Structure 1
Amino acid sequence: MLEVLKIAIASIVSWINFVLIDTYFGLPEKPGVLGAKVIGEKVRDIGGNLNGGYFMGNIVCSPDASAGTLLASICYYLMGIEGGLIAALFVYIGNRLCHDPGYAGTIGALMATVLIHLFSPIIEPKYFIVGMVIAIFSIQGFDHVLASKVLGEIARKMNRTGR
């Protein structure tokens, strides 16, 4: 039961980390990389929120905070805090290769490294790997319409809808 609680807490922390960072950096506002516009419009066409669809499309097409958080979790587990910093460097390079103008992935990886380090006395890094996979699945794999509406509402409250 304790392991399930650790996974749940790691999932919530990971979800909040990547969703707030990606929203702050404007993923819901407009398609920032090639392909994100198509995904956003497809999500809208099936009844979802366009801004939430842009958020989801930007995640799929470039290493944003979700990828940064997952990579940082894995690298921190393997190598400690240095691994999290190396992950941030890799995500930064990935963003540049994708011509992504933002820094959401790099900041997400750095924040994940800090959060994992702070939580490590009570929640081991391995739980953050599982937590991040669950967090990403809740946005990208469970229900596109519902996820896009949740993301769109968060974007609206953070004034990141591009309107």
Structure 2
Amino acid sequence: MDEIVVSILKMLVAGAICWVNFVIIDTYFGLPEQPGVLGAKTIGEKVRDIGGNIHGGYFMGNIVCSPDASAGTLLASIMNYLMGVEGGLITALLVWIGNRLCADPGYAGTIGALAITAIIFLLKPIIEPKYFVAGMVLAIFTIQGLDHKHASLLLGKIAKKMNRGE
């Protein structure tokens, strides 16, 4: 198989893993339920105003305004690429400090960083850490940059299935 095709497939698989990692963790920690940090309410209301789901909008607003699992997953992917497992652990500590500075009572960012560090460690023989960096950028893009309305509707459905939000 062509090396470029293999690289693209690895990036897409890593992206899907990152997407599931941060969306499930952030939903579990209640990001869709209410705006947890300053600014998240405004984003949620704007998303609702364009026809999106308010709880999906709160999720999106919370990940923009605080170091939740999306930030933890992205930063840990980068640090795993640069430094290995130690980098992922350093990231978890720094994200935990960031949560405390934001007065964020949750631990989604820290758990996201620890979870992706473990996943990258386990999958390293198959998918190198660099693919998780690119994959996480794609994962965030699908939530924050592609289509706010439809992303919020999907996030709202996931939240409802996990008894968060609606």
Report the CA distance between 1:149 and its aligned residue.
Answer: 0.2
**3-state SS in 2 of match to 1:78:** helix
Counterpart among 45, 52, 59 of residue 56 in structure 2 = 52
Q: Specify the alignment match of 1:42 in structure 2.
A: 46
Q: Is residue 34 of structure 2 the alignment partner of residue 27 of structure 1? A: no
Q: Is residue 165 of structure 2 the alignment partner of residue 158 of structure 1? A: no
Q: How does 1:118-129 map to 2 (within 5 A)?
A: 118-129=122-133
Counterpart among 72, 93, 107 of residue 103 in structure 1 = 107
Q: Specify the alignment match of 2:14 in structure 1.
A: 10
Task: Using structure 1 for the length normalisation, give the TM-score.
Answer: 0.98
Report the CA distance between 1:81 and its aligned residue.
Answer: 0.3
Q: Specify the alignment match of 2:68 in structure 1.
A: 64
Structure 1, unaligned stretches of length 5 or more? Answer: none
**RMSD, aligned α-carbons:** 0.5
How far apart, CA to CA, are the structure 1 residues paired with 2:31 and 2:77?
A: 22
**Where in structure 1 do 4 or more consecutive aligned residues deviate above 2 Å?**
none
How far apart, CA to CA, are the structure 1 residues paired with 2:10 and 2:25?
A: 22
Q: How does 1:79-118 map to 2 (within 5 A)?
A: 79-118=83-122
How far apart, CA to CA, are the structure 2 residues paired with 1:126 and 1:4?
A: 12
Structure 2, unaligned stretches of length 5 or more? Answer: none
Report the CA distance between 1:12 and its aligned residue.
Answer: 0.3
Counterpart among 142, 145, 149 of residue 149 in structure 2 = 145
